[in-house]
Amino acid sequence: MAYLDNIRTFVRVYELGSMSAAGRDMRISAAVASARIGQLETHLGVRLFQRTTRSLAPTEQGRSFYDGARAVLEKVEEAEALVSEITETPRGTIHVAAPLGVGRRLIAPLLPGFAQAYPRIDLRLRLSDRMIDLAAEAIDLRFFLGHPADSDLTIRQIATCARVLCAAPAYIDRHGAPRDGNDLVAAGHDCLNLRFPGATEFRWTLRTPQGPRPYPVRGRLECDDGDVLTAWALEGAGIAMKPVFEIAEHLAAGRLVPVCAATPPLPVQMACLFTHRRLQDPKIRIFMDHVSGRVASAVAAAEAKATKVAAEQSAGNC
């Protein structure tokens, strides 16, 4: 297994670009990662990386070796998956990525129960609102909201998530509540925007009697963390577009109030992304079966709660 561990370490160092990053990912020290690379280089009789005190870059031999090494690891994973399927004892490690809001509220709470049910499966959860490259970062599956750019990957739909434009009562007291998208733009409301890589402008697509329409919105605050936008909205800093499941508790408590009811946002799809090869792995199929239904139920429950509270408040105002 030592040689295989050396290959695994080489692949992670190559993909992550540093000994320390690979060590953190594999739960070993940078010194151990470096020692494994040294052993592999001695065995092969070539330098796999050019090292300086400030940088590390693969050599030509290292770049050539990477493709073969990655293929070897994939074959080993396939063999382990086959054994797991035959013995009905899934084992191994699953690397999962998810947006912050989805991960914290929907995915993370399910993992302890899964780990208890399948004690031979280790779980690694990475939360980030930035786009994650599955292959480059060795992620087995990624949950997301919206439409992915990865056209060559397999998508499993999980739920359709309602969204709402919302603001704190303090913001509405100062600026008023926009009735629709036209009012939102004309009044120059402060909109809290989620920053994506490469985004140069922000447009919110809302439902109108004439069909979906994108509205250009402005705002002085933006961030690549959706939970920060929620915190800003709670502080009265502006209007945010949020999935209902993320802010159901705030809506129920009146800390956030829906606006633009005449032109609500379009719902967003929640799905999971993975390579077709990964779906053949029994532990991945088991994980997806465990998680997807529970996530869909949690989204539906949160939306039902928010709808019930809104109906009660509307009835009380009549």
Q: Give me the residue spans of the domains in the chain.
A: 1-88, 93-157+268-307, 163-266
What's the CA dihedral at 132, 136, 142, 144 to 10 degrees?
30
86 burial level (CB within 10 Å; 0-12, 13-18, 19+): exposed
Order of strands, sheet of 154-161, starting from the edge strand that comes earlier in the sequence: 121-127, 92-98, 141-145, 268-274, 154-161
pLDDT of 57-107, one tens digit each? 889 888 888 888 888 877 777 776 666 554 566 778 899 999 988 999 999
The string of pLDDT tens digits covering residues 291-310 is 999 999 999 998 888 777 66
Complete DSSP assignment for 94-117: EEEEE-HHHIIIIIGGGHHHHHHH
Confidence band, pLDDT 50/70/90 cuts, at residue 318: very low
What are the CA-CA distances from residue 144 to residues 36, 104, 106, 117, 151 (Å)?
35, 13, 12, 25, 14
Torsions phi, psi for 133 (to 5 deg)? -85, 115
Nearest alpha-carbon partner for 92 in 292, 278, 296: 278
Q: For residue 181, which of 203, 206, 163 has the smallest C-alpha distance?
A: 206
DSSP 266: P
The DSSP H or E segment spanning 315 is helix 282-317
What is the token pair recorded at 158?
Answer: 């999980």
| Per-residue pLDDT at 41 | 87
pTM equals 0.71
**CATH architecture of residue range(s) 93-157+268-307:** 3-Layer(aba) Sandwich (3.40)
Decide whether 93-157+268-307 matches 163-266 in CATH topology. Answer: yes
What CATH number has the domain spanning 163-266?
3.40.190.290
The contacts found for 13-19 with CB under 8 angstroms, 24 or more apart, are 13/37, 13/49, 13/56, 14/58, 14/62, 14/66, 15/136, 15/137, 15/138, 16/137, 17/56, 18/56, 19/56
Average pLDDT over residues 202-210: 91
SS3 58: strand
Architecture of the domain spanning 1-88: Orthogonal Bundle (1.10)
47-51, 98-102, 241-245, 313-317: least confidently modelled range: 313-317
- Count H helices and E strands in the chain, helices first: 12, 14
Region for residue 216 given its phi and psi (left: phi exceeds 0; alpha: psi -120 to 50; beta: otherwise): beta
Tokens standing for 150?
């990865």
